[in-house]
Structure 1
């Protein structure tokens, strides 16, 4: 069992992993209004629809209950009734970090900088722990706040990293037209799709840093694309309702 919002990459990844391993799974989803008309929700939300089709049982809870998810009666009842492995929201724990330490390969030792977006910091910590002494990591938080360093220090004392906290565009899932235009131009030029929550902000930040000459000439930079593309349809629905542009 795990937790997430309506467009959570982690919810979908958990559902697909459990499908591959033939495990039952439960997703506790923030927003009880989404469960009022489940058929409509699944029709409009590709993330939840795909998770449901993969076999995940979805439970929708109010935002107030979700904030107290470790204490909610639903969680206690499920723990009593089933033999559950509870995975935290976003997926970050010691085992997840151990898995993320496998991302970098022998060939990746040639890079001077490694860039990655941050949500709950698990992927970034895994990269940090497996990086080489000569490498410097650049973290691009997708959320506002100065808590990331404390989260990282829970798992490692390595210091070969910098958090570039000025590219969150106002906070989690926040955006402006400059970001959307950048994502679209990047796809047209390189045929690589970026998402607006994580990777779009990271690459936008990297490009701005390069334009400001913050890297020496011939610096080798590896940017880790962490996915999230299935959330674009839902994001575009929000864009179309408020603006006259969308992610292509």
Structure 2
């Protein structure tokens, strides 16, 4: 498939001293937080394919959805502005909707924002169809991108990332037997898992869920994996046993933080000089640390954690929880 080239890739792979110091385990990190600035993180890899598809269809208006501080929504809005397209973001309103973080950047680049309740957000399909028809009636050509950019097209971005990792293994002279990634809408995990089967590498791919319980997360990933076949001329079948999702670190729920999670992120930052976010990578790294501490992943010798970005998730609420109100 063709794609627009935007991301700064390949992203670096670095060894983490934190895990060797505290747990005597070898863990590396792939810096997909450095794919760009306002477009940083894993979403840009997916959007390279999705925006190409939108341009192929001569669309001029992007519609997508996410939480109030969605990284995907922010990346979509920024790239739409870059390519002179308009954006409609359907965002699930939180208890507090301050103009900060990703929400601020959405507004800054001119995205149209529609806030919806949690009940409305559970099934957005009728609303999206209605809004799409309104845009068509207004003379636009809308293109709908699913939450997180997670479909058979968007997931191609992490097929690319997987093959990028294989090339970097040769350069580094080592093999990663285990890849750990945050799992939200499932597209990043699906891309890695698909390429793992396609390349016959048999690595262990672990998804640390920050959104759904494992059963629902696996269902979403299987849906994306099936959709991917049509774009790669394959007929792969995937079973639930091939998908490894850990849901023990969702905590209070998506986007909600606990003090021990934030304290871990602080300690990690002070010892590694590397910033994680409280919504995605912070919870996932916290989960990896505790899994290793509890004696899991005994067979994993070289673990690669993919940093999927999200620094704009540090809102006032989370900063005040960690350091106290200023």
TM-score (norm 2): 0.65
Match of 1:152 among 221, 239, 245: 221
CA RMSD of aligned residues (A): 2.6
State the distance in 2 between where 1:244 and 1:96 align: 35
1:94 counterpart = 2:152? yes
**SS state of the match for residue 251, structure 2?**
coil
Where structure 1 has 5 or more consecutive residues not aligned to the other structure, the ranges are 36-40
Return 193-202 or 207-216, whichever deviates more: 207-216
Are the equivalent residues in 2 in contact too, given 1:144–1:170 (CA < 8 A)? no
Structure showing greater relative contact order (alpha-carbon pairs closer than 8 Å, 6 or more residues apart): 2
Equivalence for 1:220: 302
Structure 2 counterpart of 1:80: 137
| 1:215 Cα offset (Å) | 3.3
Match of 2:279 in 1: 197
Deviation of the 1:173 alpha carbon: 1.9
Describe the SS at the equivalent of 2:144. coil
Q: Contact conserved, 1:182 with 1:204, CA < 8 A, in 2?
A: yes
How far apart are residue 54 of structure 1 and its match? 2.2
Give secondary structure in 2 for the equivalent of 1:123: helix
Provide closer, same or farther for how the CA distance between residues 78 and 62 of structure 1 changes in structure 2, counting only shifts above 3 A.
farther
What SS does the corresponding residue of 2:154 show, helix, strand or coil? Answer: helix
Aligned to 1:140: 208
C-alpha separation between the residues in 1 aligned to 2:133 and 2:123? Answer: 12
Give the 3 Å change call, closer, same or farther, for CA 134–27 of structure 1 in structure 2: same
8 Å CA contact 1:34–1:60 kept in 2: the answer is no
Residue 219 of structure 1 and its aligned partner are, at CA, apart by 0.4
Quickly say closer, same or farther: Cα 1:238–1:107, change in 2 above 3 A: closer
How far did residue 32 of structure 1 move? 10
Structure 2 distance, partners of 1:134, 1:96, is 23
Show structure 2 runs of 5+ residues with no match. Answer: 1-62, 226-237
C-alpha spacing 1:203/1:79, structure 2 compared with 1 (3 Å): same
Write the distance in 2 (CA, Å) between the matches of 1:155 and 1:65: 23
Cα offset for 1:59? Answer: 2.8
Q: 2:180 aligns with which of 96, 115, 121?
A: 115
* CA displacement 1:150-198 (0-9 Å, x = unmatched): 1122233165442111111132123322111100000000011111111
Question: Aligned residues, how many?
Answer: 235
Trace 1:1-248 onto structure 2 (pairs within 5 A): 1-31=63-93, 41=98, 44-72=99-127, 73-81=130-138, 82-104=140-162, 105=164, 106-108=167-169, 110-131=175-196, 132-145=200-213, 146-156=215-225, 157=238, 160-216=242-298, 219-232=301-314, 234=315, 236-238=316-318, 240=320, 243=321, 245=323
